[in-house]
Amino acid sequence: MTGYGQASKEFKNGRYTVEIKSLNSKFLELNLKLPKAYSDKEFFLRNECSRLIERGKVILTLTVENNNEAAKAATINQPLLAHYYISLKNIAAQLGETGENLMALAVTFPDVIKYDDAAVSEDEWKNALHAFNKAVTNFNIFRADEGKVLMNDFILRINNILDFMAGIERQEPARILTVRDRLTTYLTETIGKDNVDNNRLEQELIYYIDKLDITEEKVRLKSHCHYFLQTLNEPDAGGKKLGFITQEIGREINTIGSKANNADIQKMVVGMKEELEKMKEQLLNVL
């Protein structure tokens, strides 16, 4: 589920900042970006994120802004730098090269420059953890606000489907009469009116029209739509449960479309499918 949360905590030498961002995902995919000094805290933070965030492709970044310049300064391993420089100089002499910028090259070699990764004190960790908890709170508030917007959108989509269903019900009586007239006209033109067995025709019409009847599908579709709205208002409503209900809604819509045998009803079925697809896309955002 998409979300964003950020929080900072001041301490005596600087400030901690925690930023949490997430995108849609069926599971929790967690990427932690921590300073090296906090690497031993990664397991704890992962467990807390699993408990508090639940789901999403989440990126959590902890930044430490230190006002103590000495603490931030890099140290140079002078013996190692001298060894690299002398080795490069000797090689350049053997090859007859000028050996320009050898010092700049030697500085880039491994382990020449090191940064102070002092252990994190208990007080520093408390400040960092405070920033983390506040950021998670802000993150979940962001998600809750987005959830309210999604809820209103779902209600709109369900009501649109029900409106299309009402339109189909208005078209249905005319559809049956059209089918009856079409079959009667076809038989009259094919074998002649006098040769039509009206009793048999009525039996066949009843059988054929029964195959086109969508009464059960309409009842189930309305029931699924109302159940979706009911589930949406439950405190523990989950995206998976809502997803299952939309699958059932889709089945009824498809069956109505296959039985429609009417251009106007088919147009309304297409409209219902469009609304349902928009709901399915948004359901990826629901926990």
pLDDT tens digits, 94-117 = 888 777 788 888 888 887 776 555
Give the residue-averaged pLDDT of 257-277. Answer: 90
CA nearest neighbour of 171 among 276, 251, 267, 250: 267
- What share of the chain in percent tops pLDDT 90? 35
Q: Are 172 and 271 in a shared domain?
A: yes
Residue 56 lies in a domain: yes
pLDDT digit string (tens) for 32-81?
A: 999 888 888 999 999 999 999 878 899 999 998 876 555 555 678 888 88
For residues 159 and 238, membership in a common domain is answered with: yes
Strands 56-66 and 74-76: unpaired
CATH number of the domain enclosing 61: 3.30.230
Same domain flag for 79 and 24:
no
Beta strand 74-76 with 113-115 is: antiparallel
Helices assigned H by DSSP within 192-262:
198-212, 215-232, 239-259
Is 124 inside any structural domain? Answer: no
Are residues 202 and 260 both part of a single domain?
Answer: yes
In a domain, 122, yes or no: no
Tally of structural domains, the chain: 3
159 has a pLDDT exceeding 90: yes
Both 151 and 86 in one domain: the answer is no
- Do 152 and 88 fall within a single domain? no
CA–CA distance, 21 with 29 (Å, rounded to integer): 12
Q: Do 55 and 159 belong to one domain?
A: no
Indicate if 105 and 203 belong to the same structural domain: no
**CA atoms lying within 13 Å on the CB side of residue 250:** 14
Residue 156 lies in a domain: yes
Q: Is residue 198 part of a domain?
A: yes
| 61 contacts: CB under 8 Å, gap ≥ 6 | 18, 19, 20, 33
pLDDT greater at residue 92 or residue 206: 92
Q: Is residue 160 located within the same domain as residue 182?
A: yes
Residue 119 in domain = no
206 and 162 both lie in a single domain: yes
What mean pLDDT value characterizes the chain? 84
**For the chain, what is the radius of gyration of the CA atoms?**
35
Helix spans in the chain (H): 42-52, 69-72, 78-95, 102-107, 122-191, 198-212, 215-232, 239-259, 263-283
Q: Does 241 map to a domain? A: yes
Instruction: Note whether 92 and 200 are same-domain residues.
Output: no
| Domain housing 227 | 145-283
Does residue 52 sit in the same domain as residue 79? Answer: no
Residue of 193 and 45 predicted with greater confidence: 45
The proportion of the chain whose per-residue pLDDT surpasses 70, expressed as a percent, equals: 89
